[in-house]
């Protein structure tokens, strides 16, 4: 689909979670943002952000609203997707400590453990080195966040905590982070996502 506008139209999955914060960051970066609750809305966007919130609820609602398969198809068609926190859980191929029957969209060749930080440190902030985003560190807010327990051959680590635990990965057009860049004024993940939307790395992909 040839873009005839300089403003990329992207979606925020708006079933549950901190939709508004992502919307604001994306709008500030110049994007035209659509709240995605139905397949028709998904088909209008060139990229999707899956917010933080509660992955069990996002999973249930996405199935109820008929979005699970369309999102899986979009991921397979290499639509750029950024998932933060619960959104990372939704992008993982494999989950640890999921509830019974919980499903993800998949796409990232990783194993993600939900609620991976102990009770005392359920929420904390940390400065992360993310070389792919440049020299200045990322201020990251973790809120009952997951960790990436193992990174498969297809995925690339973007950031680790000081203890080595992986908290950000990417794979093709997909990016997943354990924390909430949208609440600490960190815009570089969203910018990287929008860059992907503007210049897809697809080779020979055609829209049918």
Give residues in contact with ligand GLN (CB under 6 A). Answer: 52-55, 85-86, 89, 114-115, 143-145
3-state secondary structure of 177: strand
> Is 190 considered catalytic here?
no
71 Rama class: left (phi>0) / alpha (psi -120 to 50) / beta: alpha
Q: How near is the Cβ of 185 to ligand GLN at its closest, in Å? A: 17
Judged by CB, which is closer to ligand GLN: 8, or 53?
A: 53
Q: Which of 23, 170, 182, 186 is catalytic?
A: 182
Judged by CB, which is closer to ligand GLN: 8, or 87?
A: 87
Query: What is the Cα–Cα distance from 48 to 50, expressed in whole angstroms?
Result: 6
Q: How near is the Cβ of 18 to ligand GLN at its closest, in Å? A: 8
> Is 85 considered catalytic here?
yes
CB 187 within 8 A of CB 181: yes
Q: Which of 22, 85, 186, 190 is catalytic?
A: 85
> Is 23 considered catalytic here?
no
Q: How near is the Cβ of 21 to ligand GLN at its closest, in Å? A: 11
Q: What count of other Cβ atoms lies within 10 Å of the Cβ of residue 75?
A: 20
Judged by CB, which is closer to ligand GLN: 33, or 89?
A: 89
- Facing residues of 159 across strands? 168
87, 54, 103: which is closest to 193 by C-alpha?
87
Active site (catalytic) residues: 85, 180, 182
């Amino acid at each position: 689909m040839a873009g005839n506008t300089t403003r990329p139209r992207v979606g925020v999955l708006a079933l549950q979670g901190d939709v508004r914060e992502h919307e604001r960051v994306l709008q500030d970066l110049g994007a035209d943002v659509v709240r995605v609750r139905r397949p028709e809305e998904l088909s209008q966007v060139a990229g999707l952000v899956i917010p933080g919130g509660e992955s069990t609820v996002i999973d249930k609602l996405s199935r109820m609203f008929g979005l699970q398969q369309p999102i899986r198809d979009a991921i397979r068609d290499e639509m750029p997707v950024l998932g933060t926190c619960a959104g990372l859980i939704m992008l993982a191929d494999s989950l640890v400590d999921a509830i019974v029957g919980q499903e993800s969209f998949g796409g990232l060749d990783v194993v993600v453990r939900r609620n991976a930080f102990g009770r005392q440190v359920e929420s904390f902030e940390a400065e992360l080195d993310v070389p792919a985003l440049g020299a200045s560190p990322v201020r990251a807010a973790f809120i009952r966040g997951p960790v990436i327990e193992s990174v498969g051959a297809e995925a690339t680590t973007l950031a680790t905590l000081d203890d080595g635990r992986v908290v950000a990965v990417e794979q093709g057009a997909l990016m997943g982070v354990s924390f909430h860049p949208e609440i600490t004024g960190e815009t570089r993940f969203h910018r990287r996502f929008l860059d992907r939307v503007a210049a897809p790395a697809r080779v020979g992909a055609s829209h049918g």
